[in-house]
Structure 1
């Protein structure tokens, strides 16, 4: 838990939630707070503070300060900056995703499917035809829900022959007669 005095050490006004009244800045994320801690630690290092003093000032253990000091001595202040998230790069670039979006918006029937209903397998087929990249079902799901912002929609199970007016008539006339009994 961060207390207001610790936040002020980072030059940040304390904001318990994003709905803080009168605030024009969004609250800092965890990585941003961690970077702010390291930046403050570097400032204190440059002022000649000891590891224990820095640890107390920024609210971390002394081992973290020792580690930060080694990085700072080797790489300077930029070595303590936030890095972008690592991991495998996406198989589809932004231009390919937009081509897939345009293809999917045409509807399933435009791509030769019988019903205008998208399944993961069908979307995977369209992705492969459009971009030449084969995706697993899990990757298709992440593409749809993450990068395209689509959500799961289940069709209502309803008979094609369903007659709403006949159902309303039956509920109004037949059901009360049956409910009365003999």
Structure 2
């Protein structure tokens, strides 16, 4: 049974609560309580209760227990993940790119070149999110931008050249415009 979680996994406390739920279900099955009633009492789906019941019949009380997280584990060790974070903090230009933006394909290239491990761009996104990195759109600004001059221009010049609102009557979107008749 899979439990979805937007943050990418369950906390140890939640995993433990769900494990206790399965063991309670096994005790109920031992007491001749049918799966639909177990589902109702525990607040789980009937499908889950029937899966747990089938496992309980085949292997006893311990059988409905969780098998652990599904999917492949991380391809990088904890030591390599720390090395990757250090590399990311140095910036993309330290690794030959012309700007400081880290994109998923760039990080995949970095991982492949440094650790000889293949990641897809989507896999890199999952990895970076797990490491606490977030995606942001960079602000494109000139390198020699003078903030004081920009503020002054915005305060004095912009209001003077800003186009005034539209004058006259409101527009008409219908092809049978009464103004044309």
| TM-score, with length taken from structure 2 | 0.61
CA contact (8 A) 2:112 2:118 kept: yes
Are 1:128 and 2:109 an aligned pair?
Answer: no
| TM-score, with length taken from structure 1 | 0.60
How big is the alpha-carbon RMSD for the aligned residues of Structure 1 and Structure 2? 3.7
Deviates more, 1:113-122 or 1:78-87: 113-122
Partner of 2:17: 32
Q: Deviations over 1:105-162 (max 9, x none)?
A: 222222222322222232122111221112211112222122x210112221223343
Tell me, in whole angstroms, the C-alpha distance in 2 between the residues paired with 1:62 and 1:140: 36
Cα separation, partners in 2 of 1:59 and 1:124, compared to 1, 3 Å: same
Partner of 1:167: 150
Cα separation, partners in 2 of 1:88 and 1:71, compared to 1, 3 Å: same
More helix by share: 1
Partner of 2:175: none
Cα separation, partners in 2 of 1:167 and 1:123, compared to 1, 3 Å: same
What is the aligned length?
149
Tell me, in whole angstroms, the C-alpha distance in 1 between the residues paired with 2:38 and 2:154: 74
Q: Please, which runs of 5 or more residues in structure 2 have no aligned partner?
A: 1-10, 163-181
CA contact (8 A) 1:51 1:65 kept: no
Q: Please, which runs of 5 or more residues in structure 1 have no aligned partner?
A: 1-25
After TM superposition, give the deviation of residue 85 of structure 1 in Å.
Answer: 2.1
CA contact (8 A) 2:108 2:124 kept: yes
Cα separation, partners in 2 of 1:159 and 1:59, compared to 1, 3 Å: same
CA contact (8 A) 1:99 1:130 kept: no
CA contact (8 A) 2:39 2:46 kept: no
Tell me, in whole angstroms, the C-alpha distance in 2 between the residues paired with 1:85 and 1:40: 21
Partner of 1:117: 101
